[in-house]
Structure 1
Amino acid sequence: MYDAETTALLRAVLDDVCENVSRYETTARTHVASTILEAATRGETSMDGLKQVGRNALRHVPIVRS
């Protein structure tokens, strides 16, 4: 579990990276959020570093076929 400050940072990064992604695009947003969380767990805590991780994840969103 992250403290309030880290949680706010992670949310801000997700919102920034996904600013042009619809809230209904849950696959993309979930993929980016998960990747950002993984990076934070590995020790990446800078906003710039997390944004870069998130942007990279957004470029590699898995395609879900129904």
Structure 2
Amino acid sequence: MPDAEMAALLRAVLDEVCADIAPSDTATRERVAARLSDLVRSGRCSVDELKRVGLNALNSAPTMWR
């Protein structure tokens, strides 16, 4: 479990990356959050890398409209 500072950073990155995603689209937000969490567990967690991985997860999220 991340400490309070890391949890706040993850929330900020998640909110920034998902700013244009409807709050009701929990599947996409969960997918991005999972990728961010995986990155933190791997030990690589610079802000830039978190944002990059979050954006990649967002762009690769499956949608019914593609």
* Common topology (TM > 0.5): yes
C-alpha separation between the residues in 2 aligned to 1:39 and 1:62?
20
Q: TM-score normalised to the size of structure 1?
A: 0.90
The number of residue pairs the alignment matches comes to 64
Q: Residues 22-37 of structure 1 correspond to what in structure 2 (within 5 A)?
A: 22-37=22-37
C-alpha separation between the residues in 2 aligned to 1:33 and 1:14?
6
C-alpha separation between the residues in 2 aligned to 1:63 and 1:20?
15
C-alpha separation between the residues in 1 aligned to 2:44 and 2:32?
15
Structure 1 letter corresponding to 2:10: L
- Long gaps (5+) in structure 2: none
Which residue does 2:53 correspond to in 1?
Answer: 53
Which residue does 2:20 correspond to in 1?
Answer: 20
- Long gaps (5+) in structure 1: none
Structure 2 letter corresponding to 1:58: L
C-alpha separation between the residues in 2 aligned to 1:63 and 1:31?
12
